[in-house]
């Protein structure tokens, strides 16, 4: 059965532009769809944040940061971002659609790759990350799922959702973000991630391409994290003996546990990869790997615990409240200075008994599935009644009980009013640890809602009624209408009583009232012009700058809306005041022919009048008034007389 048929977005037109055709993939934070941009008629990928995360400002910020970051990376090996927007509960990115598969798909189908193929994939990945690193960004979640391979062979890096500016990644503000199989030791232990964390992840990806399996496996994510901290990535030749030593060295360099001895960024690692390739013979590049091991499994045959999701591991200290005993957190000690390894050996952070014992404790805690870095003290409380409360009230109730909101989800309900809590997890009166978190589900109202009749109502009131009905006020356009009061709604699209899904945008046409025909006030005094326009229902603004014109000084020389233009009551007209006509030097045209004189005077900005006092005249100018050489107002009339025959 095609599960995409159950997806409410499939078949919809998102934001009035993107037609959602099919669901491609579902991740921890978002779902990716194949869609068509109906304006540009092109296929693209639409990455839509899960609606229950859209209320989390940090997730929305990270989502928008991805759009802005990738938009700045004009690189052929980076999946481009075209647009970012939101409609109702859906926050989305419109991205380049790559027809093909992911590197994860290739590894699942084929297992280990020949060295040539592995380098052919690694090099464009490093080129893309190198562009990001040099632009000041760190990806922080490199893994085979984020490497796209097009049907035309192009390799592109996707999902910059965890991207951060290099200068801002000294720590991760209390959480470790990423996928456990590819996290660098410093990300796990200290929450730090710079360009070298991406280098480490690429080294792990290269190992996986060369061997067909991940370097560390375990029953729980904590066991995998512990191995990244305590053990070097093994040489891929241990599983693929025919591999050249240069490839072992390349993996070792990229995955050194001490970040100080790794290549500084992807550009440096790319240089090493190309150097390693140049040292290999054709036979070494085309070495055929042995049968790759089946995807790492837990002892009982189940999927490994270190799956390929992006995990968030809280590290924050608890709030201390009077009378409440909070569980103790494990303090992670600061690292000791790195010790340089002997030449030719793998360099790692020096072992520390305290850290080792600490991590064993962490493994024990995480191994039972809690997913947080603390030891439970056994204090419990009961979840208070939240059903029927608003989200704000539910948060306040939980806070009084010493509990936190883990997540806010949204769901349809035919019986519970929109914006109020439908259920909680754990449920009412269920036991929960004294500083635990509760997931609440808030009603979106009925699955189908009717558009309310807001025609004739003021715009602000109409928008409030649409929101109460579970719809979103859309684009507002304004038109003249003599029968509907100015500022009130003329019509809606969809029309009243239409059935729509919640959060559908409703566009509104708002009345500008009866039109006002603008009179011509040029030549009038400012006082008279202002009085006439205000009497007509318009507002008047007088421009500070004055201009030369044919109108006398102090009169209106120009108006911003021409005579006959239709404006709405309360619209503003700007009047420009005249400084009087400009004084222009009068050309001397005596002795010129009548045609020459007329052309010269008109070019200078004057009107020309020809006087004929005798029935028989020649075509030469005998005199002019005013005389040549003097000055006269621009646009005034110069009289010329012709000589008699």
Q: Is pLDDT of 339 > 80?
A: no
Assigned token pair, 364:
């024990």
Phi, psi (rounded to 5 degrees) for 534: -65, -35
pLDDT-derived band at 411 (thresholds 50, 70, 90) equals confident
Q: Could you give the CA distance from residue 570 to residue 487 in angstroms, rounded to a whole number?
A: 11
In this prediction, residue 372 carries a pLDDT of 31
Residues 6+ apart with CB under 8 A from 153: none
Burial (CB count within 10 angstroms: exposed 0-12, middle 13-18, buried 19+), residue 278: exposed
- Decide: 581 and 554 in contact? Cβ < 8 Å: no
Segment (H or E) for 202? helix 195-211
- Report which of residues 153 and 509 the model is more confident about: 509
| Alpha helices by DSSP H, 26-101 | 57-71
Q: Is pLDDT of 165 > 60?
A: no
Assigned token pair, 405:
């909101």
In this prediction, residue 613 carries a pLDDT of 62
In this prediction, residue 330 carries a pLDDT of 26
pLDDT-derived band at 187 (thresholds 50, 70, 90) equals confident
In this prediction, residue 341 carries a pLDDT of 35
Question: What single-letter DSSP state applies at residue 290?
Answer: P
How many Cβ atoms sit within 10 Å of the Cβ of residue 393?
A: 13
Assigned token pair, 22:
């099919």
Q: Could you give the CA distance from residue 50 to residue 48 in angstroms, rounded to a whole number?
A: 6
pLDDT-derived band at 452 (thresholds 50, 70, 90) equals very high
Average pLDDT over residues 80-102: 88
How many Cβ atoms sit within 10 Å of the Cβ of residue 27?
A: 15
Phi, psi (rounded to 5 degrees) for 46: -115, 115
- Decide: 282 and 219 in contact? Cβ < 8 Å: no
516 by DSSP, 3-state: which? strand
In this prediction, residue 644 carries a pLDDT of 64
Assigned CATH for 449-511: 3.30.10.20
Q: Could you give the CA distance from residue 445 to residue 424 in angstroms, rounded to a whole number?
A: 17
Q: Which residue has the tokens 């550009």?
A: 267
Chain mean position to CA 410: 22
Q: Could you give the CA distance from residue 435 to residue 324 in angstroms, rounded to a whole number?
A: 9
Average pLDDT over residues 243-256: 95
Assigned token pair, 151:
């049907």
In this prediction, residue 301 carries a pLDDT of 39
In this prediction, residue 347 carries a pLDDT of 38
Average pLDDT of the chain is 80
In this prediction, residue 266 carries a pLDDT of 95
Question: What single-letter DSSP state applies at residue 367?
Answer: H
User: What architecture is the 380-443 domain classified under in CATH?
Assistant: 2-Layer Sandwich (3.30)
Q: Does domain 1-97 have CATH number 3.40.50.2300?
A: no
Handedness of CA 367, 370, 371, 375 (dihedral sign): negative
| Alpha helices by DSSP H, 287-417 | 353-367, 391-400
Q: Could you give the CA distance from residue 501 to residue 471 in angstroms, rounded to a whole number?
A: 8
In this prediction, residue 543 carries a pLDDT of 93
Q: Could you give the CA distance from residue 581 to residue 559 in angstroms, rounded to a whole number?
A: 17
Q: Is pLDDT of 442 > 70?
A: yes
Average pLDDT over residues 541-564: 91
Chain mean position to CA 240: 43
In this prediction, residue 617 carries a pLDDT of 62
In this prediction, residue 224 carries a pLDDT of 86
Assigned token pair, 573:
């007209």
pLDDT-derived band at 175 (thresholds 50, 70, 90) equals very low
> CB-hemisphere CA count at 13 Å for 503?
21
Average pLDDT over residues 3-15: 78
Residues 6+ apart with CB under 8 A from 485: 456, 511, 513
In this prediction, residue 502 carries a pLDDT of 79
**Sheet order of strands, 472-479 included:** 472-479, 505-511, 489-493
Nearest to 172 by CA among 316, 308, 29, 66: 316
What is the location of CATH 3.30.10.20 in the chain?
Answer: 380-443, 449-511, 516-577, 583-644
In this prediction, residue 71 carries a pLDDT of 75
Give the range among 62-71, 129-138, 415-424 with minimum mean pLDDT.
Answer: 62-71
In this prediction, residue 27 carries a pLDDT of 73
Average pLDDT over residues 68-72: 72
Catalytically annotated residue among 141, 198, 248, 265: 141
- Report which of residues 220 and 261 the model is more confident about: 261
pLDDT-derived band at 312 (thresholds 50, 70, 90) equals very low
The per-residue DSSP string of 374-409 comes to: B-----EEEPPP-TTSBHHHHHHHHHHTT-EEEEEE
Nearest to 266 by CA among 395, 130, 379: 130
pLDDT digits (tens, 9 = 90+) for 469-494: 888 898 899 999 999 999 999 999 99
- Decide: 554 and 583 in contact? Cβ < 8 Å: no
pLDDT-derived band at 443 (thresholds 50, 70, 90) equals confident
Give the range among 150-154, 175-179, 586-590 with minimum mean pLDDT.
Answer: 175-179
pLDDT-derived band at 459 (thresholds 50, 70, 90) equals very high
Phi, psi (rounded to 5 degrees) for 473: -60, 130
CATH topology of domain 583-644: Trypsin Inhibitor V; Chain A (3.30.10)
Q: Could you give the CA distance from residue 621 to residue 127 in angstroms, rounded to a whole number?
A: 82
Burial (CB count within 10 angstroms: exposed 0-12, middle 13-18, buried 19+), residue 241: exposed
CATH topology of domain 516-577: Trypsin Inhibitor V; Chain A (3.30.10)
Give the range among 15-24, 104-113, 148-157, 371-380 with minimum mean pLDDT.
Answer: 371-380
The residues with which 35 forms a beta bridge, in sequence order, are: 20, 44
Question: Does the annotation count 307 as an active-site position?
Answer: no
pLDDT-derived band at 230 (thresholds 50, 70, 90) equals confident
Give the range among 52-56, 188-192, 275-279, 536-540 with minimum mean pLDDT.
Answer: 52-56
pLDDT digits (tens, 9 = 90+) for 30-44: 889 999 999 999 999
- Report which of residues 222 and 562 the model is more confident about: 562
In this prediction, residue 466 carries a pLDDT of 93
Cα angle 419-421-423, degrees, rounded to a multiple of 5: 150
Q: Could you give the CA distance from residue 174 to residue 170 in angstroms, rounded to a whole number?
A: 11
CATH topology of domain 102-288: Transferase(Phosphotransferase); domain 1 (1.10.510)
Give the range among 156-160, 342-346, 523-527, 579-583 with minimum mean pLDDT.
Answer: 342-346
pLDDT-derived band at 191 (thresholds 50, 70, 90) equals confident
In this prediction, residue 66 carries a pLDDT of 65
- Report which of residues 37 and 436 the model is more confident about: 37
> SS3 letters for 539-568?
EEEECCCCECCCCCCCEEEEECCCCCCEEC
Question: What single-letter DSSP state applies at residue 329?
Answer: B
In this prediction, residue 292 carries a pLDDT of 46
In this prediction, residue 237 carries a pLDDT of 93
Bridging pattern class, strands 421-425 and 137-138: unpaired
Average pLDDT over residues 561-586: 91
Largest CA-CA distance found in the chain, in angstroms, rounded:
126
Segment (H or E) for 462? helix 459-468
Q: Is pLDDT of 60 > 80?
A: no
Burial (CB count within 10 angstroms: exposed 0-12, middle 13-18, buried 19+), residue 308: middle
- Report which of residues 168 and 257 the model is more confident about: 257
Average pLDDT over residues 409-438: 84
In this prediction, residue 645 carries a pLDDT of 57
- Report which of residues 569 and 618 the model is more confident about: 569
């Amino acid at each position: 059965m095609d599960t995409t048929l159950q997806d409410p977005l499939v078949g919809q037109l998102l934001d009035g532009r993107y037609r959602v055709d099919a669901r491609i993939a579902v991740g921890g934070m978002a779902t990716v769809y194949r869609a068509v941009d109906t304006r540009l008629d092109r296929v693209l990928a639409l990455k839509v944040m899960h609606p229950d995360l859209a209320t989390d400002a940090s997730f929305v910020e990270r989502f928008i940061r991805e759009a802005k970051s990738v938009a700045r990376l004009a690189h052929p090996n980076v999946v481009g971002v075209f647009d970012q927007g939101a409609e109702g509960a859906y926050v989305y990115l419109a991205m380049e659609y790559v027809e093909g598969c992911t590197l994860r798909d290739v590894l699942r189908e084929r297992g280990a790759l020949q060295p040539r193929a592995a380098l052919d994939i690694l090099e464009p990945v490093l080129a893309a990350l190198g562009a990001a690193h040099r632009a000041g960004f760190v990806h922080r979640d490199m893994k085979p799922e984020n490497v796209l391979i097009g049907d035309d062979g192009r390799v592109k890096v996707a999902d910059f959702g965890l991207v951060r500016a290099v200068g801002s990644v000294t720590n991760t503000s209390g959480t470790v973000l990423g996928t456990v199989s590819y996290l660098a030791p410093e990300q796990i232990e200290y929450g730090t991630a710079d360009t070298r964390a991406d280098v480490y992840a690429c080294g792990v990806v290269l190992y996986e391409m060369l061997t067909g399996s991940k370097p560390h496996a375990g029953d729980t994510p904590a066991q995998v994290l512990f191995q990244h901290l305590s053990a070097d990535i093994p040489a891929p030749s241990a599983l693929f003996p025919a591999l050249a030593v240069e490839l072992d060295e390349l993996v070792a360099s990229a995955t050194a546990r001490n970040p100080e001895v790794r290549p500084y960024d992807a550009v440096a690692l790319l240089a090493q990869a190309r150097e390693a390739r140049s040292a290999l013979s054709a036979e070494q590049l085309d070495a055929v790997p042995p049968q790759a091991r089946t995807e790492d499994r837990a002892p009982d045959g189940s999927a490994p615990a270190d799956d390929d999701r992006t995990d968030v591991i809280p590290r924050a200290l608890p709030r201390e409240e009077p009378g409440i005993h909070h569980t103790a957190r494990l303090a992670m000690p600061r690292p000791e200075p790195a010790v340089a390894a002997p030449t030719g050996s793998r360099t790692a952070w020096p072992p520390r008994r305290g850290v080792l014992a600490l991590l064993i404790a962490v493994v024990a805690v995480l191994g039972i599935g809690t997913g947080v870095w603390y030891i439970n003290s056994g204090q419990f409380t009961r979840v208070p009644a939240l059903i029927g409360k608003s989200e704000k009230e539910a948060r306040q109730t939980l806070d009084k009980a010493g509990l936190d909101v883990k997540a806010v989800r949204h769901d349809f309900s035919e019986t519970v009013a929109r914006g109020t809590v439908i259920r909680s997890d754990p449920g009412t009166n269920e036991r929960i640890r004294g500083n635990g978190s509760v997931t609440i589900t808030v009603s979106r109202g009925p699955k189908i809602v009717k558009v309310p009749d807001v025609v004739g109502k003021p715009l602000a009131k109409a928008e409030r009624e649409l929101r109460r009905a579970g719809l979103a006020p859309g684009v507002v356009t304004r038109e003249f209408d003599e029968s509907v009061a100015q500022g009130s709604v003329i019509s809606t699209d969809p029309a009243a009583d239409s059935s729509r899904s919640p959060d559908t945008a409703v566009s509104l046409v708002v009345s500008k009232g009866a039109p006002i025909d603008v009179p011509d006030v040029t030549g009038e005094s400012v006082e008279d012009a202002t009085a006439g326009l205000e009497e007509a229902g318009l507002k008047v603004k007088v421009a500070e700058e004055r201009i030369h014109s044919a109108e006398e000084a102090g009169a209106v020389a120009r108006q911003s809306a021409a005579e006959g233009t239709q404006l709405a009551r309360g619209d503003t007209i700007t009047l420009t005041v005249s400084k009087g006509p400009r004084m222009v030097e009068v050309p001397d045209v005596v002795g010129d022919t009548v045609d020459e004189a007329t052309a010269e005077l008109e070019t200078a900005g004057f009107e020309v009048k020809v006087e004929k006092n005798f029935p028989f005249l020649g075509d030469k100018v005998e005199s002019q008034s005013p005389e040549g050489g003097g000055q006269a107002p621009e646009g005034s009339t110069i009289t010329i007389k012709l000589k008699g025959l």
